[in-house]
């Protein structure tokens, strides 16, 4: 049985990253992705809406996880870690009606390096432009 991401986020489940590859401990229906820099009034988040282009993103699902590879980026932890930025997913629960606005959520992904593990933590947010 696939975990609902809203429950996984609220329960504090964590994912991890390896260079340009993010691993999520849940499945979701992805609508769009933003990559944003913290503390910058001049830079707008980069919107990635064409998730079908294999030169931009690769997405795969395992039994209880989703993996997204950002092909145009190097090491996401170096670029966005240490409170420099974040990734935001606009998504619905796997199998939910994506045309019902009540089913759509924003998931903020933050990079938290420890000495032994490259963790990502998740937060449900209301508006990706008011962080």
> What pLDDT, on a 0 to 100 scale, did the predictor assign at position 1?
41
Taking phi first (over 0 means left), then psi (-120 to 50 degrees means alpha), and beta for anything else, what does residue 43 get?
beta
130 has a pLDDT exceeding 90: no
Look at residue 131 and tell me if it is in a domain.
no
Burial (CB count within 10 angstroms: exposed 0-12, middle 13-18, buried 19+), residue 33? buried
Residues 1-59: tens digit of each pLDDT: 457 898 999 999 999 999 899 999 999 999 988 887 665 555 556 666 667 778 888 99
> What pLDDT, on a 0 to 100 scale, did the predictor assign at position 38?
64
Confidence of residue 131 (pLDDT cuts 50, 70, 90): low
What is the domain count for the chain?
1
Stretch 79-85: mean pLDDT: 73
Contacts of 50 (CB under 8 A, 6+ apart): 56
Domain limits for position 37:
5-125
Look at residue 130 and tell me if it is in a domain.
no
């Amino acid at each position: 049985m696939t975990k609902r991401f809203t429950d996984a986020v609220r329960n504090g489940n964590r994912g991890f990253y390896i260079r340009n590859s993010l691993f999520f401990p849940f499945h979701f229906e992805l609508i769009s992705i933003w990559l944003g820099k913290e503390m910058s009034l001049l830079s707008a988040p980069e919107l990635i809406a064409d998730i079908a282009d294999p030169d931009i993103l690769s997405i795969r699902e395992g039994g209880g996880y989703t993996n997204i590879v950002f092909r145009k980026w190097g090491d996401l932890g170096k670029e966005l870690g240490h409170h420099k930025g974040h990734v935001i997913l606009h998504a619905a629960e796997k199998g939910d009606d994506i045309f019902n606005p009540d089913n759509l959520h924003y998931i903020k992904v933050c990079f938290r390096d420890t000495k032994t593990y490259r963790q990502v933590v998740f937060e449900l947010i209301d508006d990706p432009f008011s962080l």
